[in-house]
Chains A and B, each alone.
Chain A
Amino acid sequence: MEKDQDKILSDVTTGEYKYGFYSDIEMDRIPKGLSEEVVRIISAKKKEPEWLLDFRLKSYRHWLTMKMPTWANLKIAPINYQEIIFYAAPKERKNLNNVDDIDPELKKTFDKLGIPLEEQKHLAGVAVDAVIDSVSVKTTFKETLAEMGIIFCSFSDAVKEYPDLVKRYMGSVVPYTDNFFATLNSAVFSDGSFCYIPKGVRCPMELSTYFRINSANTGQFERTLLIADEESYVSYLEGCTAPSRDENQLHAAIVEIVAEKNAEVKYSTVQNWYPGDKEGKGGVFNFVTKRGMCKGENSKISWTQIETGSAITWKYPSCILRGDNSTGEFYSVAVTNNYQQADTGTKMTHIGKNTKSTIVSKGISAGHGQNSYRGLVKVLKNASNARNYSQCDSLLLGDKCGAHTFPYLEVDNQTAIVEHEATTSKIGEDQIFYCNQRGISTEDAIGLIVNGYAREVINKLPMEFAVEAQKLLQISLEGSVG
């Protein structure tokens, strides 16, 4: 780890967004705009069954009655839904069992992102589902996993091959009426990953989904559903990037997790959507609903997120602790540099007895960035002996950025123990000078200090991604101290 860190520090020579390239892939796009017709076209393109079309239409009609929420501590330019393309997919998608069937341009794109689609080239022990714009293009290690009964495939494939599982669980954690963006997603969602871990199985490798927005003026609306049956375990990771563009792009996703009795799910995110340029032009609007249900006794869901990208982040990965003795965790590092804004946090709802939740949030603001933590800890009447520990730290670089904390508590049971700690600190000139005096440059010193500050969260990531995350933190903050 220490060695990797050195490599990272020396690797980093430029603060530019590295993933801002655009690939010229032949695409199948539908006309821009949103209507009932568009919802039907998406469903038809994906050759969906009637029940799914009905779900979409019901969602769309409900969405028309909703207004965009304004409670977040974010300044958002109006979004014109008629200017967005809701479906774009690489052309000529055959049944891809062989890597050679993939458009070479597409393969090159993922190679460039460091996500080779050939299994033999990939990091050992990581299975990848690669999603570009509206569709999944390749899932690796599918067969290896299938031998253990693990289903890991694109959401679209799951609809075709495992309709009963999809029907049973889709919308069970995030109902289609949940919120403005979740409802929009329910109407127009394109693709995403589906994962089912059968009873008693420990998934032997990291599962991951890599999301890439490529096409201009296109929104990405992916949907991920992850089910861990009794006594099972899975660690799952998602990564995201997008080309640099002057226009804002919309991303509104849903992730639903269900953990049955004694199951454990670790869900990690390294979010690096295009953040916009130094003047705040462009960047992805990231509105995501992520929620896990600890349905069975002793189940556990753990969210870890490293949020360095996006112009706007609106995201609250949450846990519903329904099973007795279930555990929810949320570990977050959110960086806002230049003109980025983030309003992120979590919601822990304690329903079962002896339920436990832990929240560790580390905000880092630089430039003109605005970073808000928003969290709700809710203990219901019957949740006796519920415990929560929350820690919200903010780190400020410079004097033009902001850090805000909005913790909410609703406790309806006398036996609950809820703790909240919060700190705000600045990277001191003294700390930087101390590093300088030992021969470490200011840029490297900031990387070191920030990674130290975020270590508690980074340590929760799987090893390969921890290294990636450290690198990202350093790059995201480059040039933030003049």
Chain B
Amino acid sequence: MLIINNLKASIEGKSILKGISLEVKPGEIHAIMGPNGSGKSTLAAVLAGREFVEVTEGTVSYLGKNLLEMAAEDRAKEGIFLGFQYPIEIPGVSMVNFMKTAVNEHRKHKGLEPLSASDFLKMMRDKKELVEIDSKLANRSVNEGFSGGEKKKNEIFQMAMLEPKLAILDETDSGLDIDALRIVANGVNKLKRPDNSFIVITHYQRLLDYIIPDVVHVLYDGRIVKTAGKELAIELEEKGYDWIKKEVENNVIA
């Protein structure tokens, strides 16, 4: 699905990612954890195609294609979805209109006819139910006046609508109360299939109580310093990130 090899990237000349390698196979859930400022969101931004991040070295292959050469909207249409850490407000644009445009762009890309208004509305209803989202959200402008929790749930709803092959959730759990957290996690679990994959970026372990990752990576100072199974997340929760930092420093000294 996704192969990242020795990826280095910088923002305004400052090196952030310092050589990341990672492989995500179909059907897998990867968790990327790490302290603030370790480069987690930058990695998500590179994968989604944000232009302010400059890739200086390395390759990213997605479904056999060179991902770094693709425009952001083409990556989206090829099945990459980014759940934003801070979802953006677009005043005056209804969720219905926004999603309809997006869904039909995806369909066009696949050579399908646009959905009729009634089919589209049915799809919205079904997906809303699936991810347990208040149906009123869909009648409002994109994220405008949404609470933090509503915005995050709205990201999961959009993910359900667009049925991505690879979903990257960037700290989708931050700022959520326990109910919202459960809804977000349930959404992911319901959308999980053998042929799609998730990268769940999180600072805390608690999301991983609900979403069971296959692989956990710890990102620190622009590098993946540890990779293990789901037990790593629990260990991190107990011990915090300091022991990782120490371990890294000791390694450097050694």
Chain A residues near B (Cβ < 8 Å)? 2-3, 5-6, 9, 428, 430-431, 433-442, 444, 448-449, 451-456
Contacts and interface: CB of A to CB of B under 8 A. Distances in A.
A6 B104 contact: yes
Nearest to A393: B91
B211 interface: no
B48 A437 contact: yes
Nearest to B116: A3
Given A2-B97, A2-B100, A6-B114, A438 B158 contact: yes
Contacts of B72: 433, 436-437
Interface in B158-199: 158, 162
B93 interface: yes
A466 B100 CA distance: 19
17 contacts: A2-B96, A2-B97, A5-B101, A6-B100, A434-B87, A435-B90, A436-B49, A436-B73, A437-B76, A448-B98, A448-B101, A451-B93, A452-B93, A452-B141, A453-B91, A454-B92, A455-B93
A231 B114 CA distance: 46
Contacts of A442: 73
A437 B142 CA distance: 14
B76 A3 contact: no
A1 to B, nearest CB: 9
Interface in B91-120: 91-94, 96-102, 104-106, 109, 114, 117
Interface string B148-162: 000000000010001
Contact of A449 (B71, B73, B93): B93
A6 B94 CA distance: 13
A454 B88 CA distance: 18
A433 B141 CA distance: 17
Given A2-B97, A437-B72, A439-B162, A453 B88 contact: no
Contacts of A438: 76, 98-99, 102, 105, 158, 162
A439 B91 contact: no
Nearest first, the 8 A-B pairs at minimum CB distance are A452-B92, A452-B93, A438-B102, A436-B72, A439-B76, A434-B88, A439-B105, A455-B92
A106 to B, nearest CB: 38
B77 interface: yes
Nearest to A362: B92
B210 interface: no
Contacts of B81: 437
Contacts of B73: 435-437, 439-442
A455 B98 CA distance: 14
B65 interface: no
Contacts of A434: 84, 87-88, 90, 142
Contacts of B216: none
Given A434-B88, A437-B82, A454-B92, 19 more contacts: A2-B96, A2-B100, A2-B117, A5-B101, A6-B114, A430-B88, A431-B88, A437-B48, A438-B158, A439-B73, A439-B102, A439-B105, A442-B73, A448-B93, A452-B91, A452-B93, A453-B91, A453-B92, A455-B93
B92 A431 contact: no
Contacts of B77: 439
B155 to A, nearest CB: 10
B97 A439 contact: no
A36 B237 CA distance: 91
A5 B90 contact: no
B50 interface: yes
Contacts of B96: 2
A448 B76 CA distance: 18
- Of A428, A440, A456, chain B has the most CB atoms within 10 Å of the CB of A440
Given A2-B100, A9-B101, A449-B93, A439 B88 contact: no
Contacts of A451: 92-93
Contacts of A6: 100-101, 104, 114
A444 B106 CA distance: 14
B45 to A, nearest CB: 9
Nearest to A430: B88
Nearest to B114: A6
A272 B77 CA distance: 35
B90 to A, nearest CB: 6
Contact of A436 (B76, B89, B114, B141): B76
Contacts of B49: 436-437
A473 to B, nearest CB: 12
Contacts of B88: 428, 430-431, 433-434
Nearest to B72: A436
A6 B101 CA distance: 7
A448 B90 CA distance: 9
